[in-house]
Every structure is written in C-alpha cells, then in structure tokens.
Chains A and B, each alone.
Chain A
Amino acid sequence: MSLVASLVVPSRGLALDLDVTPGRTLALLGPNGAGKSTALQALAGLVEYEGSITVGDRSLDGVEPEHRKVGYVFQDYLLFPHLTVLENVAFGARAQGRGRVASRASATEWLERLSVGELAARRPPQLSGGQQQRVALARALASAPDVLLLDEPLAALDVEIRDEVREELAAHIKDWAGMTIVVTHSFDDVTALAADVIVVEKGRATQRGSVRDIVREPATAYVQRLVRNWSDD
C-alpha cells in the first residue's frame, strides 16, 4: 500500500507528482510560496485539485477530509484550546465513533509513547512550543491515519530547542509504520526526517532523489545554496 499522487491546483500554480511507501518519509523541500503546503492541503482534501490521489487501491478523489485517513500536523499545531491535552488526542477516535473509555485509553498510550503523558490534564495554551508539537503529533497519529502530513513541523519553535525537538520527531516518525510527507524549507529538517526528497520551486518539482543524491548533485541554484549553507554548519 503506497501513496501515489498526481496533484494539479491551477489556482495556485501547482503541478506535482509524488509517491511514498509505508515506513518511509518524503520531504517536499522548497522556498516559501513554492506550493508545498498547497500540495499537503490537496492530499488532505482541503483544497480542490485536479489529477488523482490513491492510497493502495483506495482513491481519495472526491473523498471528504474526514474520510481520507490523512493526518495533518499543522504548522501552528491548531490544538483545540477548549479541550485538555488528553481530549485533544482522544478527539479523532471519538469522532470516528469509538467509545469514550477506549478513546481515552488509546490517547493516554500515545501521549506516553511521545513522553508527554504527564501533560494529559493541561490545556494547550499552557504548553511550550515543543510540547504542543508532540501533542499535535500524538493527536494526528492517534486518529489512525494511513498518511501523516507535517507542515513545517519546526517552524513555530524557538531556534534553541529546534535541534532537540527535531531529533525526537525523527525518532517518533521512524517508529511509525505509515507513510509520512514533511514540508520544509530547512535542509536540516530534510536530513533528519526524510529518506527521499522532492525539491519544489514555483509549483514544479525541480529535483527528485534520495537525500544523498541531492547533496551530491544539487540541480538548481536554490538547492546548491541550501546544501552549501548546511555543510557549512
């Protein structure tokens, strides 16, 4: 079961083909405004697109967001401010019709797996950025998606804690058996989180390959600059 997508969103100038296999992470790397987030929104059914998206033999075209089984970790996490952390993470299972007790038990498990079990009774505004990110990840994973989308997962965090949170995020994603697509403009994120990369510039793929391919032979001036800055660090 893999994700194969051919995405065309004319209103935002996006035309992109991509595919991911289970257990692997694909990074969409590109400058701001390149259409990376639009690609995620199309995958989640949040913008209208032409083309096709299939997960295994299941077509997602015309399927409402709530039935796509596509989890989304938003750039600013969007944790529900009126619910506790536990209720946030249990929300998906509850909404999909599972019982209150079962949903809470599975939410507790996810929170513990992401080492934020002690935050269960807190409310999102009381959490640090790194904690919010882990709760958002737990919430998305607890809804049992086939595909996990991460939109600039580290952009909302303070620079000092980014490296640490990035490492943790990488470990959690590696543990997860599903397919992950991460959107970023940081080469650090790519090397830490992803195996495969598509460089997106102005709505088109300008280079595809493994992280190693990209480092060895950056195809465009944009990637060259990113790789150079990254190796300088």
Chain B
Amino acid sequence: MARRRSTLAPALWVPAGLALGLLLLPLVALIVRAPWATLPSLLAEPTVVQALGLSLGTASISTVVCLLLGIPLALVLARSMQWPAVPRRLLRALITVPLVLPPVVGGVALLLLLGRRGLIGQWLPFTIPFTPLAVVIAQVFVSMPFLVIAVEGALRASDRRFEVAAATLGASRFTVFRRITLPLIAPGIASGALLCFTRSLGEFGATITFAGSFPGTTQTLPISTYLLLQTDPNAAIALSLVLMVVSVAVLVSLRDRWVPGVVS
C-alpha cells in the first residue's frame, strides 16, 4: 500500500500545486502591486477614512447585535433536546440558510421584508433601506449564523454537570449562566464574534442591494473598494490591503488562541 501511495504523489502534486497557487497567488499579487510608497496618503483620503469608519462602526454594531440575539438563539438550539427531533433539525437547517444563500438574494429578501412596501416595512413609520441601519441589518443577516453555530457547538461540548454542581452550591439559574455557562463557552463566543466581525466587514452583496452605496452613510469598505477600482485603482488596492490584513489577523488570532485543535 505504501508503495502505491508514493507512486501517486507526483500525479497529485500538479493539481495540488495549482490549487495552492490559485488560493495564494492573488494575495501575493495584491501585496506585490500595492502602492506602498503612497499608502499612508491613500489611506488618509477623506473618502477612504469615511468608508473605513463606517465599516468598522457598522461591523462592530452588527457583532454586538449578533451576540445579543445569537447567544440566546444558540442556547435555545443547544438546550432544546426535549423537543421532537424534526422541528429541532429543521430550525437548525433554516438558521444556516444565510450561510449558503447568495448575499444578493439576501439583500433582495430584506428589501421585500423591510423595504418601503415590504411585508413589515409598509407598516413602519420610518424608512430602513439605504440607511446605515440597513447596512447593519444586512450584516447581521449574513453573519449571525457564524455566531450561532460557534456558540451552539461550544454549548454542546461544555459539560452541563458544572451547572448542576453550581446549583447545589446555591446558585440561581441566572448566576449559573453568568458565572459558569458563559465563561465556559467564552472561547466559542469569542471565535463566533470574530467570525461575525470579519464577515460583516467584508459584506458586499446584501449591503449594496439593501442599503445602496451612499458615501458616508451606506458606502462600506468593500463597496468603496469596488467603486474606486474604476476611478482610483491605487486607493482600491490600499483598501483591499486593509481588508486582507484584518481578515488574516482574525484568522491568526483564532488559530492561536481559540481553536487549539487546529494548531495541535
């Protein structure tokens, strides 16, 4: 068996190398062609600063919203063992739909729900589409599943008997949740929140469909990058670099601290 595997190796190396190149060479190109000399001034341009501020702001708010709403949802999912299996599995499958849904479709769906003539939007006294609120809603829509899945996984993996032990020591349900459950799943929450933040920061399709691209109010970093590519390619490359650095930083911090299994 070992001999056969070694004869396979050269045949494997060609597609494997191609795959690796396809994954890494674009990033290399981005780094090589980046306008390093003018980078500081490019990043200081008002449109860039505006987009950066808007993106960091909305992505942070989206992450907080995901935490506030996603942790309870994860708790419901993880602790619903007494429910019949069919609705439980169906619910979990539905929650992952935004993960596989094309973001543009998500944007269209949000318009149909919250647009001025939307299912809910027609009853609202204010307009949501094409506002910063729409940016946040679009980001939450696409990134919440990441948080729910990460937290639910952490909850399933954590030993519930610690909660039982805490109760026998006189701790109320809320105290148990705050002092035992939450700290024990903190790594899952942290990695979920980081994934949420990066996904929100990179959100394009749902945002441009549901929130448009008004400079200063809804034109986030990825949208700004796309538009700048036609008028000021160097600025677009600079923004791409920023987005890449943030993503890689998140990846590195996840691997080092929160996913010990990956490092082994």
Asked whether B32 is an interface residue with its Cβ less than 8 Å from the other chain, the reply is no
Inter-chain contact A66/B165, CB cutoff 8 Å: no
Q: Which residues of B contact A68 (CB under 8 A)?
A: 168
Q: Which residues of B contact A26 (CB under 8 A)?
A: none
**Chain A residues numbered 59-109 whose CB sits less than 8 Å from any CB in chain B:** 64-72, 74, 78, 80-82, 91-92, 95-96
Q: Which residues of A contact B180 (CB under 8 A)?
A: 80
Q: How far is the CA of A70 from the CA of B161 in the complex (A)?
A: 16
How many B residues touch A, CB cutoff 8 Å? 18
Q: Which residues of A contact B165 (CB under 8 A)?
A: 72, 74, 78, 80
CB distance from B156 to the nearest CB of A (A): 17
Q: Which residues of B contact A200 (CB under 8 A)?
A: none
Inter-chain contact B169/A143, CB cutoff 8 Å: yes
Inter-chain contact A70/B168, CB cutoff 8 Å: yes
A74 closest partner in B (C-beta): B165
Q: A95 and B164 in contact (CB under 8 A), knowing A80-B180, A82-B183, A82-B184?
A: no
CB distance from A66 to the nearest CB of B (A): 5
- Best-buried of A65, A67, A71 by chain B (most CB within 10 Å): A65
Q: How far is the CA of A96 from the CA of B184 in the complex (A)?
A: 21
- Interface size class, chain A: 20 to 34
**Chain A residues numbered 28-75 whose CB sits less than 8 Å from any CB in chain B:** 44, 46, 64-72, 74
**Chain B residues numbered 115-156 whose CB sits less than 8 Å from any CB in chain A:** none
Q: How far is the CA of A95 from the CA of B173 in the complex (A)?
A: 10
Inter-chain contact A140/B169, CB cutoff 8 Å: yes
Inter-chain contact A71/B164, CB cutoff 8 Å: no
Inter-chain contact A95/B161, CB cutoff 8 Å: no
Asked whether B166 is an interface residue with its Cβ less than 8 Å from the other chain, the reply is yes
Q: How far is the CA of A65 from the CA of B170 in the complex (A)?
A: 7
CB distance from A103 to the nearest CB of B (A): 11
Q: Which residues of B contact A134 (CB under 8 A)?
A: none
Q: How far is the CA of A46 from the CA of B159 in the complex (A)?
A: 15
Asked whether B171 is an interface residue with its Cβ less than 8 Å from the other chain, the reply is yes
Interface set of A (CB-CB < 8 Å, partner B): 44, 46, 64-72, 74, 78, 80-82, 91-92, 95-96, 139-140, 143
Interface set of B (CB-CB < 8 Å, partner A): 159, 161-162, 164-172, 175, 179-180, 183-184, 186
Enumerate 30 A-B pairs (CB-CB under 8 Å) in ascending A order: A44-B168, A46-B164, A46-B168, A64-B167, A66-B167, A66-B171, A66-B172, A71-B169, A72-B165, A74-B161, A74-B165, A78-B159, A78-B165, A81-B162, A82-B183, A82-B186, A91-B166, A91-B171, A91-B179, A92-B169, A92-B170, A95-B170, A95-B171, A95-B175, A95-B179, A96-B170, A139-B169, A140-B168, A140-B169, A143-B168
